Every structure is written in structure tokens, then in C-alpha cells.
Amino acid sequence: MTRIQSFLQCLPLLLLLYSSPVAFAQQPAFKCTRLTNIDGLSDNMVFCALQDRYGFMWFGTRDGLNKYDGYKFTVYRHNPADSGSLSDGGIYTLFEDSKGNLWVGTHIGGLNRFERETGHFIRYNYKPEESIGQISSICEDIQGNIWFTTSPPIAQLYKLLIPSGKIINYQYSADNPYSINSILINYVCRDSTGKIWVATDFGFNQYDYQRDRFI
């Protein structure tokens, strides 16, 4: 029996299965809702979004951080007169760590940690007197420390030590074969095995926890 003859014998069964609502259940239609500043969003230019462990949606915009509970927005902005507010209005990166802390990467104000109990922000900056640049990525290592990178022209890698709050800046050094392999840092992340990876313009770097160096 040829393949064509075999197919023709099975054709009535195939047609029956195709017409059966059990075999091919209709997929539910998804409805999209547009949320803009008319609905309470602080700004229509959104740079990042995150859903936290409590189900809240967070949106980073060029004019503050927005929390959405499914019904309304709560907006957090920079206030020069309030040290507990965001350190800057432009929000470019969001990250939730293993303890449920929300980390906020700003445009020129460094890194912020949101305190859910008070609604205030704790500010972290490598050099408080100057900007470290726009934060482009954030992650957490297996020791609970927070890593983050900044965008060009100040494209660098930092590690925030928890709980001391000290910030370490890892830089390229031509004299050190175990330093980062480039002055241009693009991204940092942690994989499923706990390894920290750093992407640069010249490839990947893996962090060596024991020796505090890079491979």
C-alpha cells in the first residue's frame, strides 16, 4: 500500500477529528486594555515593567515610578526636598530580589530600594556627589548582593554589598588578566546555577565568587 492510499483510508477519520469541538477546542480571545496618562499613568513613555510577588504591576517612566493594582495607579516621583523620595525622575530598570525587595534603576540618580512598609526609597550611589549614569541592568547573586550596570558613556559594573551598603566598582585593567575584559559593560545577569555573567563589547565574563575575579 502506497502512502497516498494509506492517507486516503485515514481521511474520513481526520475529517471527523477536525470537525470535533473536543479535538479542536476554540481558544479563548484575549482582550488588551490600553493604560495611559488619562488613566493615571504618570507619563506615556514607559521604559520598563515588572510584576512583583504580590501581583502588583510596576512601570518605570521618564516621570516617576508607577504601581498599578488593577484598578488605579500610585505614582512615586523625585522630590528634591524629600530624601525619602526617588533620587531621580527617570526610571529605566526594575528588579525584585529573593527577599521581595524592589530595586529601581534611575537615569542619573543611582540605585534605589523601595521600602514597602513606609513607601520611602533608600538611595545608593557609588559617588553621591556625582552621577554614575543611567542604570541598564540589575541582578542578585547567591550571596544576596546586588549587581548593576550603567549605560554608555559611563558603561561600568557595580556590586552593592548587602547589608553594609558598600558599592564596589569593577573596571577593566590591561595589567590584570582576571579583570573585566572591556571598558564597555552592557549587561549583568545570574543564571539558574547561580553564576554571574557580564556581557561586554568583547564577549562574556563569568564571576569567580571564591577569588573575587572574572573568567
pLDDT digits (tens, 9 = 90+) for 81-124: 999 999 999 999 999 999 999 999 999 999 999 999 999 999 99
Cβ count within 10 A of residue 1: 7
CA distance 149 to 132: 10
Q: What pLDDT does residue 159 have? A: 97
Is 24 in contact with 69 (CB distance < 8 Å)?
no
Is residue 138 helix, strand or coil?
A: strand
Q: For residue 142, give the C-alpha cell.
A: 547567591
Task: Output the pTM of the full model.
Answer: 0.83
CA distance 137 to 111: 11
| 3-state percent breakdown (helix, strand, coil) of the chain, nearest 5 | 10, 40, 50
Buried b (16+ CB within 10 A) or exposed e, 68-88: beeeebeebbbeeeeeebbbb
Is 66 in contact with 42 (CB distance < 8 Å)?
yes
Is residue 188 helix, strand or coil?
A: strand
Q: For residue 16, give the C-alpha cell.
A: 471527523
Q: What pLDDT does residue 32 have? A: 85
pLDDT tens, 128-155? 777 788 999 999 999 999 999 999 888 8
Greatest C-alpha distance within the chain? 85
pLDDT band at 27 (very low <50, low <70, confident <90, very high): low
Is 131 in contact with 90 (CB distance < 8 Å)?
no
Would you say residue 10 has pLDDT above 90?
A: no
CA distance 19 to 11: 12
Is residue 15 helix, strand or coil?
A: helix
